[in-house]
Structure 1
Amino acid sequence: MSRSRFASVLPDLSPLRSSPDFRLLFYQGTVTFFGSFMAMIALPLQIKHLTDSPLAVGAMGAVELLPLVVFGLYGGALADAVDRRRLILLTEAGLGVLALVLLVNSALPTPLLWPLYVVAACVSALTGLQRPAMDSLMARIVPHDQLTAAAALNGLRYQFGAIAGPAVAGLVVAYAGYASAYAVTVTGFFVSVLLCLRLRPAPPARDAERPSLRGIAEGARYAWNRPVLLGTYAVDLAAMLFAFPNAIFPFLADELDAVWALGLMYAAGAVGSLLLGLTSGWASRVRRHGLLVVCGAGVWGLAIAAAGWSGNIWLVLLCLAVAGAGDMLSGLGRATIWNQTIPEELRGRLAGIEVLSYTVGPQLGQVRAGTMAGWTGTRSAFWSGGLACVASVALLAALLPKLISYDADTDEDALRQRAAKEEEPQPSGATA
């Protein structure tokens, strides 16, 4: 492969060069995700250590879901009404304080159990408040034609944390204890807050309304009346509902006599996503982002089905990696469409709806996978869910043809937002 062809598949770094704010958020996210994943692994391990109860560990997911949904919707409306930089900064500082609570509790002679659940619920609430502001800020700070590249780079920083954080957390907890793992998390948030302080203000539109149920409903109506947007949410929800089998990984590992590979099974998807992100330079030249959404979700479903059919652990790991790459591909398409087509005054509320699509789907998917595994067996829960994912995605594509035909160069909403972006004055230090 020639040097130019090799360079064409590497990640497009244009957003890092053109946007100082994106650079800050990229570095901030890299640090934060690493520290957050450290805590995400240490927290359930500590609950297991204190209770030796699978039910107690599973209860953590129950206390996290409702705050994430409620505050995700409210956070979307809030992101359209306040300075997004300030909202990101305050929630990041709040998450750092919660990490400090975990550190102090773990340092007690006898750590308490109830603060772990309280912190888990509060982390979900603050994440729900922050995520819409963070997501909706991207279209403001990144040039319109670099949004796909920005989505790929954001995916890379997340996958780095998803792979490195748990791996390091396991070693730190085993050899240095929970307090050391939480100390890394606290340090990460401290650095993150310092980086967020350097962001430029991102004030709301002059006619922005106060957060309200009516405002949230307005955002929902906008999405409902846009088949392309509706399709991105529906495809993601269907893919996660039918083909998110993480809850039954331990049972598949047992059936394959490969308990040693359980950690690899959880990491395989992130590895696949990371590899696609590292070779995502071509994605910046794609204009049919709806095809990325549908094809990526289809690859995800087929790979999950193949994992259920396979009787070899290495093939299972390969299938899970392919599934992760498909999920990343679909995510690139979704993020690009959202940032290219949603008006500035609605971006926060639509990002709040997106919080629902990426949180409710996996939660329900785990329930589906566990129920099917109990009724029909572990492997059939994999392959039936994968095939149901493919069938549902194909049906949605047929019902919402505008998703498939979406073209960034001809879509009316995309052209409108491109024109609005070009009319904005360029901030100092940024180039389009």
Structure 2
Amino acid sequence: MTRLDEPRRRGLRRFAIDVRPLAAPAYRRMWLGNGVAMFGIQLTAVAVPVEMYELTGSSLWVGLLGIAAFVPLLVFGLWGGALADAYDRRRVLLVTAAVLWAATAGLVAQALLDVGSPLLPLVLVAVQSVAFAISSPTRNAILPRLVPAELVPAASTLNFTTYTAASVFGPLVAGLIFAWWGTGPGLPIAYAADAVLFTAVVWATVRLPAMPPEPDPDAAGAPRRAGLASIVDGLRYLSTTPVLLLSFVIDLIAMVLAMPRALFPEIAEERFGGGAAVGWLFSAIAAGAMLGGLTSGWIGRLRRQGLALVVAVVGWGLAVAAAGLAGQLWLMVLLLAVAGAADLVSAVLRQSMLLVYAPDRMRGRLMGVNTVVIAGGPRLGDLRAGAVAAGFGGGVAWVSGGLISAALAVLLAVAFPALLRYRAATTAADRN
């Protein structure tokens, strides 16, 4: 290797995704297990709507699947975080994994038996959503116990990148399954593949060490309970922690005001004649997030994470607004991909700040709030976009949402500068 090659290699390492967390065996197993399982989950995410439309011929029934998944997330997301702070997190993950696997096995059985009831998939999706709402805060809360604090941003980036890659390639494979076998044999094949692949995360969780809750210095040795009082305690902590509260609010603004997903079918038909255009639009944000993750080595070295979070959210809004003005499909897809990369940066920074800043005894409950925000924001954004489009047209709904979200993010950051002042060195350990 020549001297000229070394600076080039250092430059590549600076921007390539940081894989140092994979040196930790427990994290490496969980990353691999979650990645394999997430790919299978995407097969089911496509198969269930396909089956529902096959059974009913109605998009309304397909839409009810969203309600069946969303309501449990809202109801059980906060409670799941409280469970993560009150019980051994490994045990919580194992129980919820068993419920998720059983629900997927139920989907396999009803497809093989050709039950033909649209209510059964709705119930099974709701059960899956309950288990996910409880397991997601727990799975995220264990991250600082698997890797050192300075590697939490890199570990979060690896997790998000794996998720976005599964979101890109999983639906493509599901489409190939239905194209090759049709919906008759294809549905049980897709569900069964999900059930088999999900065993990877069960294996990884079984290999985890016990993770009992850390003692609460304010509880005077009293056992922690996962009830309403515990949830209220977590929300009270969040309300008195401006940095974390602002990070949630700014993300919610970005998703509610600037998420253009509900406008994709209308814009694809009006501007590009429908066809494959809608598929490109639906995959663009996830593809951009995946590519952003693969070139994210610099994120873990950021010190002014609060400022970077605001810049990423503003970048998301402006990129979405610019995409809404594009008259060429390739340009719209490119700008949506830029928005997806900005969204990945903001998501990684927000989660890293939460996991490092908050004490361990609060992480589960705060990750429960995070789950509700992540689940609720885009769906509320769909509602906003559709309502504005009905009154003013898809183009206005798209562009105005992006611009307003960017402006509000700037105003919020200026009005409450705690977020702008946040630096990566400010951790719970530093404050205690």
TM-score of Structure 1 vs Structure 2, range by shorter chain: over 0.9
Matched with 2:146 is 141
C-alpha contact (below 8 Å) 2:265/2:274 kept by paired residues: no
Match of 1:363 among 370, 379, 399: 379
Query: What is the CA distance between 1:398 and its match in structure 2?
Result: 1.6
Query: Does the alignment pair 1:255 with 2:261?
Result: no
Q: CA deviation at 1:191?
A: 2.5
Q: State yes or no: 1:15 paired with 2:21.
A: yes
Q: How does 1:209-220 map to 2 (within 5 A)?
A: 209-220=224-235
- The answer to whether the 8 A contact 1:408-1:415 is kept is no
Q: Are the aligned partners of 1:234 and 1:396 in contact in 2 as well (CA < 8 Å)?
A: no
1: CA distance, partners of 2:118 / 2:315: 41
Q: Given the two structures, how large is their TM-score scaled by the length of structure 2?
A: 0.93
Q: Show structure 1 runs of 5+ residues with no match.
A: 418-432
Partner of 1:105: 110
| 2:194 matched residue in structure 1 | 185
Tell me, in whole angstroms, the C-alpha distance in 2 between the residues paired with 1:57 and 1:284: 40
Q: Contact (CA 8 Å) 1:216, 1:349: kept in 2 or not?
A: yes
3-state SS of 1:259 partner: coil
Measure, in 2, the Cα distance between the counterparts of 1:367 and 1:414: 41
Equivalent-residue separation in structure 2 for 1:408 and 1:393 (angstroms): 20
Q: 2:240 corresponds to which letter in structure 1?
A: N
Query: What is aligned with 1:429?
Result: none
Q: Residue 246 of structure 1 aligns with which residue?
A: 261
Aligned partners of 2:358 and 2:428 also within 8 Å? yes
Q: Which residue of 2 aligns with 1:273?
A: 289
> What is the root-mean-square deviation of aligned Cα atoms in Å?
1.3
Identical-pair percentage: 39
Determine if contact 2:83/2:364 at 8 Å carries over to the other structure: yes
Q: Which moved more, 1:170-179 or 1:128-137?
A: 170-179
SS of the residue 1:203 aligns to = coil
CA distance in 1, matches of 2:121, 2:31: 29
Partner of 1:308: 324
Which residues in structure 2 correspond to 1:206-245 (within 5 Å)? Answer: 206=215, 207=221, 208-245=223-260
When structure 1 is superposed on structure 2, of 35-44 and 259-268 the one drifting more is 259-268
Q: How big is each residue's C-alpha offset from its partner over 1:187-221, in whole Å with a ceiling of 9 and x where there is no partner?
A: 01122212211111111124451111111111111
Answer whether contact 1:223 1:230 (CA < 8 A) is retained.
yes
Encode CA deviations 1:290-322: one digit per residue, 9 max, x unaligned. Answer: 122211111111111111111111111011101
- Pick the aligned partner of 2:55 from 29, 47, 50: 50
Map 1:274-423 onto structure 2 (within 5 A): 274-409=290-425, 411=426, 413=428, 415-416=430-431
Question: Shift of the alpha carbon at 1:175?
Answer: 1.9
Separation in structure 2 between the aligned mates of residue 255 and residue 204 of structure 1, nearest angstrom: 54
Map of 2:3 onto structure 1: none
Distance 2:202 2:356 in 1: 28
Q: Conserved in 2, the CA contact under 8 Å of 1:42 and 1:170?
A: no
TM-score, scaled relative to structure 1: 0.93
The letter for the 1-side match of 2:413 is: A
- In the alignment, is residue 31 of structure 1 matched against residue 27 of structure 2? no
User: What is the rounded CA distance, in whole Å, between the counterparts of 1:265 and 1:301 in structure 2?
Assistant: 16
Match of 2:4 in 1: none
**Rounded Cα–Cα distance in structure 1 between residues aligned with 2:110 and 2:51:** 11
Which of 2, 5, 17 is 2:11 aligned to? 5
Match runs of 1:197-208 below 5 Å: 197-206=206-215, 207=221, 208=223
Which digits, 9 at most, give the CA deviation of each residue in 1:72-102, with x for residues without a partner? 1110100001111111111112111111111
- Note if contact 2:312-2:342 (Cα within 8 Å) is conserved in structure 1: yes
Count of aligned pairs: 415
For structure 2, the residue ranges without an aligned partner over 5 or more in a row are 1-6, 216-220
Shift, 1:413, TM fit? 3.6
